[in-house]
Amino acid sequence: MHARWQLPGGVWLLLPVVALWPLWQWSASRLFDGSDDPFGILALLALLLLLGRERARLLPAPRPSWLLGALLLSACATFSAAAWPMLLRAALGVCAVMAGIQALRQPAQPRLAWFGLAVLALPLLASLQFFLGYPLRVITAEVSSWLLQLGGVAVERRGSTLQVAGQLVMVDAPCSGIQMIWVAYFTAFFSAAWWRVSDGSLLRRLPLLGALVLVGNILRNSVLVMLESGQWQGAPWLHEGVGLLVFAVVCLLVLRLMAGAPQAASPAQALQGVQALPGRPLLLAAFAGLACWPLLGEQASAGAPQTSFVEWPQQFEGRPLQPLALSEVEQRFAAGFPGAIARFDDGERLLSLRHVTRPSRKLHPAADCYRALGFVIERISLQRRVGNPGLQRCFTARDGQSVQRVCEYIEDAAGQSFTDTSAWYWAALSGRSAGPWLAVTTATVITAQTR
């Protein structure tokens, strides 16, 4: 019986991977649908590289404690489908896979960097931008305004927007520093894993990384504000050049920080004496059951469509609205939306109206939706609304068939408007904005390809 269940170590490593296949299917769709930057692929490749480097030192059989941890994490990720969002379940899933890897690694080896890379392999950036983007942009804009005022520039902050010499300069999503944070922590985790930096040393350096990124992002934003407002003159490529330069400097400083950290001892070879793994058939059956569970409970995962009645406007900016049917994709999205969605045509523009009843991550920015449809987003700016003192966020969306000018804003029950979904979310969550809210997106076709 013992010989029958003496499986190679790599088979045990694949068990949590196979058991959690719905999570990897969701992650892949998020990484490649265009709505999120696919940075996670880089973290996944880094993990595979690290695993390949250590394959000669892997144990011939897994350590029971870590394999049991992989099973428990897999079970939590599988059975929490009705209660937790997919991203949180996927985070549990990658931790389960990492626990399986640690079961085959030798004891006393650093683990924190490996787990950090596994989390970075998830489609995180869009969610981080939604929840943390606005607070980080406000901090960046505030400190940038202090620096510019010290330099004698007349500047005033309004939310995440700076008014420089009467001109509005938007501190938009790229200026939040979310991408720089991802790159900095990826550099830290990969270099720490490669150099086998001890977990304690890495943990003590993580707060320093955050401060380093914040300082670098503030300096970058201050220079870009001067360029965008016309206070400084420069070539068009200087905008991108400044960003790349700051990215490179931050990464070099992160590498310098990791290079000076104490390292753990490198294992010479794989241990031969490993504790016997009990209950092998039961473990195999448990992982197989987890893999089959989503197929058995698939019908319970679909949300019921929203049936609440919403009285949509008859006119918009003085033009009558003609209702349009929702597309198949919009109907699926509306099934789990906290409110209602409708489409209209005013004769010149297509309007998408979303009636929202509570703060929710499901109120996506229009730019994310257009990217997911294959459009290239250009010329992002703030503009005044027609007949209203509020602002709207506009951009040009271009694909192989048409060029559209898209504008969007969110308005609350008191008439207060927001141009940024992250700003709206925090205002709604903190009670500074009362619902229900109406998210308005207008799309005007500038040019259309004819055949």
According to DSSP, the residues that pair with 418 across neighbouring strands are 410
3-state secondary structure of 81: coil
- Using alpha carbons, select from 31, 367, 316, 39 the residue that is nearest to residue 173: 367
Residues 304 and 368: their CA atoms lie apart, in Å, by 24
In whole angstroms, how large is the CA radius of gyration of the chain?
25
Contact criterion met (CB below 8 Å) for 135 and 214:
no
Helix (H) or strand (E) holding 114: helix 112-120
Question: Hey, what are 47's tokens?
Answer: 């993990």
- Using alpha carbons, select from 304, 309, 301, 302 the residue that is nearest to residue 340: 309
- The pLDDT score that the predictor gives to residue 64 is 83
Q: For residue 311, give every residue at least 6 positions away whose Cβ sits within 8 Å of its Cβ, in sequence order, or none.
A: none
Return residue ranges of the chain for CATH 3.40.1000. 315-448
Percent of the chain with pLDDT over 90: 14
Q: How far apart are the first and last CA of the chain?
A: 70
Model confidence, pTM: 0.78
- Using alpha carbons, select from 189, 201, 182, 212 the residue that is nearest to residue 122: 182
- The pLDDT score that the predictor gives to residue 3 is 45
3-state secondary structure of 339: strand
Contact criterion met (CB below 8 Å) for 262 and 197:
yes
- The pLDDT score that the predictor gives to residue 31 is 75
- The pLDDT score that the predictor gives to residue 316 is 84
Residues 218 and 138: their CA atoms lie apart, in Å, by 11
- DSSP 8-state secondary structure symbol assigned to residue 297: S
- The pLDDT score that the predictor gives to residue 48 is 93
- The pLDDT score that the predictor gives to residue 299 is 42
Question: Hey, what are 414's tokens?
Answer: 């008191």
- The pLDDT score that the predictor gives to residue 85 is 84
- The pLDDT score that the predictor gives to residue 2 is 46
Q: For residue 365, give every residue at least 6 positions away whose Cβ sits within 8 Å of its Cβ, in sequence order, or none.
A: 408, 420, 421
Residues 412 and 435: their CA atoms lie apart, in Å, by 6
Fold adopted by 315-448: Protein Transport Mog1p; Chain A (3.40.1000)
Q: Encode 185-224: b = buried (16+ Cβ within 10 Å), e = exposed.
A: bbbbbbbbbebbbbbebbeebeeebeebbbebbbbbbbbb
Low-confidence ranges of the chain (pLDDT < 50): 1-5, 273, 299-307, 450-451
Question: Hey, what are 81's tokens?
Answer: 């489908």
CA atoms within 13 A on the CB side of 247: 16
Question: Hey, what are 254's tokens?
Answer: 């992160």
Phi, psi of 205 (to 5 degrees): -90, -15
Q: What is the pLDDT of residues 12-52, one digit of tens each?
A: 788 888 888 999 888 888 777 666 678 889 999 999 999 98
Contact criterion met (CB below 8 Å) for 192 and 113:
yes
According to DSSP, the residues that pair with 443 across neighbouring strands are 350, 406
- The pLDDT score that the predictor gives to residue 76 is 92
- The pLDDT score that the predictor gives to residue 173 is 67
